[in-house]
Homo-oligomer: A and B are copies of this chain.
Amino acid sequence: MDSLSNNPSQATLSKFIARCLVAAGIRTADAAKTADLMSQADLIGQDGHGVFRLPQYVKRIQSGGINTSPSINTLEERTATALIDGDNALGHLVMSHAAELAMQKAETTGVAWVGCRNSNHAGPASLYAMMPLQKDMIGLYVAVGSANHLPPWGGTDMLLSTNPIAVAIPSANHPPIVLDMATTVAAYGKVKTAAQRGEQMPEGWMIDRHGQPLTDPARAAEGFLLPIGGPKGYGLSLIFGILAGTLNGAAFGRDVIDFNADSETVTNTGQFVVALDIGAFADAELFKKEIDEVWRQMKSSALLPGHNEIRLPGERLAAVTQERRAHGIPVAPELRERLDVLADELGVQRL
């Protein structure tokens, strides 16, 4: 009850994030835009990618690892593509710029693919995949993860990241279908959460350097994540890393900076976003009704013993969003303490 009544609204959370970012040296408009996207991440239930990241971002800004006066430029451009230089801005600024450009281009060309270099961690993949939904477009987003936790299949050198993909598809009377997934069985954030809670991990998330299951998250540094489907997940991570990193002149492989361990070195993070205009293929209203029918078909499947419902990707996101719009965003006591310390250090009003 007490914690519920203390839950900030997205607007309150956004204002708090913005004043911290401004105090750290980010320009007012940039801080407002980043804060809006970070608080949206919390609103949609991506707790590991919203305000939780603020102390880390501020530390990086203060260490000179982020450009506080960036000029985001287009380096290469064709009618349906662009390569953006993020000028080491906060990733949210780079990727929202990229998504907007992709949507603008796709309106005439039907599809657009915009890649970025010199970007940074931009929060949850689904944020950018969902932006094109407002224009009746399908969105697709891929990022090179901000730390390598995955070796090539059969190896032990951590050359790959969880390299997530998100795809968002609108419907008429249901929530959009939003897939947002790492190419590993567990995202590294889940390992950190297990460590914080003192819980063991299930077998299948990680192995150690001898190939044995690693279930103690406190020993996570001794092992690495496992890809989905074994060599298939390795293949997906490799391909996504090349498309989001190498193709854009961004870091991939040994060049990826572990932004959890290093707050100073420029990360040169790479990402790309694709906007696909539904109207180039179908009547958008009819298509959205067909996605309702996809919902209906999947939901109506008979159930496997031990399961009590079929869920569609994006269903939990929609439910959490509705709940948090109505009742605010829960902030765990330890996180609130860290945010209070941060606010005091920055000399701004607490959340």
Contacts and interface: CB of A to CB of B under 8 A. Distances in A.
Given A177-B239, A253-B294, A155 B282 contact: no
Interface string A306-328: 11011111000000000000000
Interface string A264-293: 000000000010111011100001001101
A198 interface: no
Q: How many copies does the complex hold?
A: 2
- Which of under 10, 10 to 19, 20 to 34, or 35 or more describes the interface residues of A? 35 or more
Contacts of A301: 151-152, 155-157, 159
Given A81-B281, A112-B80, A232-B228, A154 B311 contact: yes
Most central of A151, A159, A274, A280 by chain B CB within 10 Å: A280
A248 interface: yes
Contact of A287 (B151, B247, B297): B247
Interface string A48-81: 0000000000000000000000000000101111
A155 B247 contact: no
Interface stretch (A4-12, A26-34, A103-111, A337-345): A103-111
A304 B211 contact: yes
5 smallest beta-carbon distances between A and B, as pairs: A228-B229, A81-B110, A155-B301, A78-B110, A154-B307
Interface of A: 76, 78-81, 83, 108-113, 115, 138, 151-157, 159, 167, 169, 177, 179, 181, 185, 207, 209-211, 228-229, 231-233, 235-236, 238-239, 242-243, 246-249, 252-254, 274, 276-278, 280-282, 287, 290-291, 293-294, 297-298, 300-307, 309-313
